Amino acid sequence: GNSVTQMEGPVTLSEEAFLTINCTYTATGYPSLFWYVQYPGEGLQLLLKATKADDKGSNKGFEATYRKETTSFHLEKGSVQVSDSAVYFCALSANYGGATNKLIFGTGTLLAVQP
């Protein structure tokens, strides 16, 4: 079945450090891949997405590239800020022959950025 595996947290960084959160997936067909972010006390919101191999999603300085050969979608940011502290979820959505698209989530990675 479909699944998403992402690195466990928490990840603690100093401001302006480089961030990588690893995400790998298992899916048949051609899934779309997403990163969602959850700020404290709030629901999830879309951070970025990629819908086909070699696409790069980007938003707010974050980037992730859809790598079909390594089944990965790692999240990166060159210089994190305190305001980036949140939980980050990798997710995929796949549709097989008309079956319903459903989002499958990883377990989430807590990022804490210290000033």
- Catalog residues that contact other proteins under the rule CB under 8 A: 31-32, 34, 41-46, 49, 51, 89, 93-95, 100-103, 105-108
Min separation Cβ 64 and other proteins, Å: 14
Are 80 and 15 within 8 A, CB to CB? yes
Are 106 and 92 within 8 A, CB to CB? no
Min separation Cβ 25 and other proteins, Å: 13
Nearer to other proteins, 17 or 87 (CB): 87
* Cα–Cα dist 36/73, whole Å: 12
